[in-house]
Amino acid sequence: MMNCLHAFSPIIGFGVNVVCQVCCCRYITGFSVLKSIFVGFTAGMFSLLIVELYCFKQLSLSLPGNAPSTFVNIVTYSALGYGYFHFINLGETARRIRILRELYDSKEGLAMSEILERYSAKEIIEKRMNRLINNGQIICKNDRYYVGNPMMLLIAKIIVTMKLIVFGKKSEFT
């Protein structure tokens, strides 16, 4: 039974992640989606580590002998969390998804001029810049923009590194 629990600890952690993220979004007023994702991921990782420690204690396992399987469980959980983050992010930010939803909702369809009116580049950049400023991710001084909270910059660097490792290039456009 303990071996099963140990094997499924990434799934347990992922379940905690999703439940916490959904609860934060639905029941905590003013909680941003990004914050809820971080809280969910942290709670899930904490749950995974508790399950791992419980299994070690119950099975009297030694850390050196089982470190590889614990490492694999942490990496597996992280990959699940990463995929979940992008699943949520896709529905929240992707213009393609929004355009498809709007086309689906429009019984008469939309003309290209109507779509361009809804998605002007200037308006999109203004909304993104305001969101970055409101979240403290960038700051504006004397009409110049600078990195504020570097957390998203760190995440962006991690994503670029992962793309470089997996695809051998920094972007799908290069």
Q: What is the pLDDT of residue 22?
A: 92
Domain membership of residue 173 (yes or no) is no
Q: What is the mean pLDDT of the chain?
A: 85
Q: Are 15 and 84 in contact (CB under 8 A)?
A: no
Cα–Cα–Cα angle for 78, 84, 87, nearest 5°? 145
Structure-derived torsion over alpha carbons of residues 70, 33, 139, 125, reported in degrees to the nearest 10: 120
| pLDDT average, residue stretch 40-51 | 95
Domain that holds residue 149: 97-167
Q: Which of 58, 93, 128 is the last residue of a domain?
A: 93
DSSP conformational letter for 170: S
Q: What is the pLDDT of residue 3?
A: 72
Q: Which of 93, 117, 133 is the last residue of a domain?
A: 93
What domain count does the chain have? Answer: 2
Question: pTM (2 decimals)?
Answer: 0.63
Structure-token match 């456009």, residue found: 173
Domain membership of residue 68 (yes or no) is yes
Residues 53, 142: Cα–Cα separation, whole Å: 52
Domain membership of residue 174 (yes or no) is no
Q: Which of 93, 120, 137 is the last residue of a domain?
A: 93
Residues 118, 106: Cα–Cα separation, whole Å: 13
Q: What is the pLDDT of residue 154?
A: 83
